[in-house]
Amino acid sequence: MEELKQRILKDGQVLKGDILKVDSFLNHQVDSGLMKRLGEEFARRFKPLKPNKILTAEISGIAPALQAGVALDIPVVFARKLRPVTMPKKVYERRVPSRTKGGETMLLVAADYLSAQDRVVIIDDFLATGQTLNALANIVVEARARLLGFGVVVEKTFEHGRDALDEWGVPLEALVTIERMNQKQIVFR
């Protein structure tokens, strides 16, 4: 998506450790108009698969996933990082490393919201190493739901996350793909 590329070039910032900071429109402050258009693009790409649920990770994946859910008119389930007192006892749970937060992060999904009848697309903000998307896919499998595909706003190919997801045998849709980046330049595919 050309609009997303231009926004990354204008407002994105490359930090140490190959972190792309897009806080001004995706990860802290959310550009709702842009998110609407990203969601519509995800919906266009995934509608033929006939999903009935979208799964994402708290918190940065929620905005694009929610807009895709609105466009497809289906529910969005997000994996919580902390267990609230309202969460039922039966949950699907995975631990994943977090480079932006340091250490590990929990992903928790109440079993009430994923079942064997669900056809799930996973949408998240970034694909770097693939560990978060793999954890979410394993939650889908544990729930005996059907994984239909992955959607990411930004894929960083130099971190080889796509390779880590190949085993799932489902489509992976990236709205923009970054081949390489440093503090002076971002090169898109």
Question: Token pair for residue 138?
Answer: 């394993």
Q: What is the pLDDT of residue 101?
A: 65
Q: What is the pLDDT of residue 100?
A: 66
Q: Output the CA torsion sign for 164, 110, 87, 89.
A: negative
pTM above 0.85, yes or no: yes
Say how many C-beta atoms besides its own lie within 10 A of residue 142's C-beta. 14
Q: What is the pLDDT of residue 136?
A: 98
Tell me the pLDDT tens digit for each residue of 134-187.
999 999 999 999 999 999 999 999 999 999 999 999 999 999 999 999 888 999
Residue type, 161: G
Q: Output the CA torsion sign for 112, 51, 79, 162.
A: positive
Query: Range of 26's domain?
Result: 2-188
Q: Among 148, 86, 141, which residue's Cα sits nearest to residue 115? A: 141
State the total domains in the chain: 1
Tell me the pLDDT tens digit for each residue of 34-84.
999 999 999 999 999 999 999 999 988 999 999 999 999 999 999 998 777
Phi, psi of 143 (to 5 degrees): -80, -5
CATH number at residue 140: 3.40.50.2020
Tell me the pLDDT tens digit for each residue of 71-124.
999 999 999 987 777 787 899 999 998 766 678 899 999 999 999 999 999 999
